[in-house]
Amino acid sequence: MTDWRTIPLLAGYQLCKGVIAFGGRLNECENELSSTLEGWILLGLKMGHPLPVISNIDLNKQFIRDTVVTL
């Protein structure tokens, strides 16, 4: 019989190609996945790649900077 506690976990985001993580426990896998996704997003933004819209969060929008008048 297989001891399910000894099988490594694998997780990923379907919308984010290449974002996967492994862990021995659920919280390890979640932490690794969070860290991997953060790095994937930062690299994508730096390289100007289009990012998927997740939970209505669109990081592809261009922000307009207005000048700020100081007193």
Q: What is the pLDDT of residue 8?
A: 79
Q: What is the pLDDT of residue 64?
A: 67
CA dihedral 39, 56, 48, 37 (to 10 degrees): 10
6-29 pLDDT tens trace: 677 888 888 898 899 988 888 899
Instruction: Return the CATH number at 38.
Output: 3.30.160.250
User: Residue 22 sits in which domain range?
Assistant: 1-71
pLDDT at residue 62 tops 90: no
28-55 pLDDT tens trace: 999 999 999 999 999 998 898 999 998 8
Q: For the residues of 2-43, what is the DSSP string, one character each? A: --GGGSPEEEE-TTSTT-EEEESSHHHHHHHHHHHHHHHHHH
Q: What is the pLDDT of residue 54?
A: 85
| Total count of domains within the chain | 1
**pTM assigned to the model:** 0.71
